[in-house]
Amino acid sequence: MVVQQHVIQRLKQNGYKLTEKREKLLELFSNESKSLSAKDVQTELKKAYPNISQDTIYRNLHTFVELNLLEETELKGEKLFRYKCDTSHHHHHFICTNCGETKALEICPLDFFEGQLPGCTITDHRFELFGICDKCQSKK
């Protein structure tokens, strides 16, 4: 899959070049429907770049999070990353704790919580559900 034009523009606007390694990293995420750990990324990129360092991978992952190209979450003490959803509507995610598969949730529970916080202004939020997906359940 080719890296989308808006991704290339965001990199350039923030002073970053689309290097071959960055492009490969972004392609890896654009082809996945699940969250990946830095170790997953390193394992995959080492096939094309045997000498790629863990520092390079972490630095680029965190840069892409800062640029709003990747989303970051944590599961069992490990940071996981996924391609930023390219949708125009607000939604949240279910993440399988077994295989990492990520599914969009179309309902946001924020309205419920806003009702419990009179006088407060919520400036941001994240809502994620973790569990075992249907595919992993059927394997058991």
Q: What angle do CA 18, 28, 89 make, to 5 degrees?
A: 90
- Select from 99, 101, 95, 88 the least CA-distant residue to 126: 95
Least confident segment among 2-6, 33-37, 58-62, 77-81: 2-6
Three-class secondary structure assignment of 77-114:
CEEEEEECCCCCCCCEEEEECCCCEEEEECCCCHHHHH
Q: Mean pLDDT throughout 9-38? A: 89
- Say if CB 29 and CB 81 are below 8 A apart: yes
Q: Please, what are the domains in the chain?
A: 5-83 (1.10.10.10), 92-139 (3.30.1490.190)
Amino acid 71: pLDDT: 84
pTM of the model: 0.71
Residue 58 phi/psi, 5-degree rounding, is -60, -45
Beta partners for 65? none
pLDDT tens track for 70-123: 888 888 888 888 877 655 567 788 888 888 888 888 788 887 888 888 888 888
